[in-house]
Amino acid sequence: MRADFHAHTTYSDGSFLDWMVGAAADAGLSGIGLADHCNVSDRPAMRAHKLRYGYNLDLTYERRREAIETARGETDVEIYDAVEVDYHPTDQADIADFLAEAGFDYAIGSVHEVDGVNVHFPEPFRDRSGGERRAAVDGYFEDLAALVRSELFEIAAHPDIVERNEALRGIAGEDHYRRLAAAFADSRTVPEINAGRVTADYGRFHPCEAFLDVLAEYDVRVTVGTDAHAPQEVRDRVPLLREQLADRGLDPVSPFDV
Ligand SMILES: [Zn+2]
Ligand SMILES: [Zn+2]
């Protein structure tokens, strides 16, 4: 692992750009991709969410680009001007227009919305029946398959993110993994091994081992991202990602090679 392709700065919900780049150097990386959250949906609920949480990269990416250009002159670490875009099938045309206009080095696509709810919140799912939760997980994988088929992104983020939600954990299975692996096999989009919850309560990588087995069966290549929001997370997660890659015999692909 020579680069981390998924990290956040203060241009969304992460830490200072210089700190994240410094942490990449500390972790022995030669590159770091700054992939701040970005939502370009004009759906009222999504607009309200981004205003409330302050996700403004659609308005500030040129300013961040200027900062990246300055920072590039001060470090040996390669800094990639990337983005993590919220994906929903109804927003596809808006996302395509934005990505064409902004011209990032590469784009990560993420499904963060499950049945109209942010996947990080377990409460809305707790009172639902088993059938309703199953339908929510099915819907998540359908949207993720649509993301992969859209060909808008070099990387699909945290491909089984529903597992980090304790109310949705353990529902996904081989059928879901096979459908996704077939979609990845036909697409330029590669899944990432994402360390976003590996040192937290969930304690595993996305995708889980069973999903990785299926991806390997379909010869799907993978890339890597710490999904770090703080410099210490880069330093802590890179060695764990290296261990996981070695255990699985994986050589991660760069988004510049897809
Ligand atoms: Zn994400
Ligand atoms: Zn992220």
Block mean pLDDT (10 aa), the chain, length 258: 98 98 98 98 92 94 98 98 98 98 98 94 95 97 98 98 97 98 98 97 97 98 98 98 98 96
What is the CA(122)–ligand 1 centre distance, in A?
16
Q: How far apart are CA 158 and CA 2, in angstroms?
A: 19
Q: How far apart are CA 122 and CA 62, in angstroms?
A: 35
Burial zone of 177 (CB within 10 Å; 0-12 exposed, 13-18 middle, 19+ buried): buried
Residue 202: predicted pLDDT: 95
Angle among Cα 60, 54, 196 to the nearest 5 degrees reads: 95
Q: How far apart are CA 7 and CA 241, in angstroms?
A: 14
Residue 126: predicted pLDDT: 94
Strands 117-118 and 155-156: unpaired
pTM given for the model: 0.97
What is the CA(199)–ligand 2 centre distance, in A?
15
Q: Where are the alpha helices (DSSP H) in the chain?
A: 17-26, 44-53, 57-72, 92-102, 123-126, 130-150, 174-185, 209-217, 231-248
In the chain, what are the domain boundaries? 3-225
CATH, domain range 3-225: 3.20.20.140
Residue 62: predicted pLDDT: 98
What is the CA(14)–ligand 2 centre distance, in A?
9
What is the CA(210)–ligand 1 centre distance, in A?
21
For the CA of 156, the nearest ligand: 1
For the CA of 87, the nearest ligand: 1
For the CA of 7, the nearest ligand: 2
CB 82 within 8 A of CB 106: yes
For the CA of 113, the nearest ligand: 1
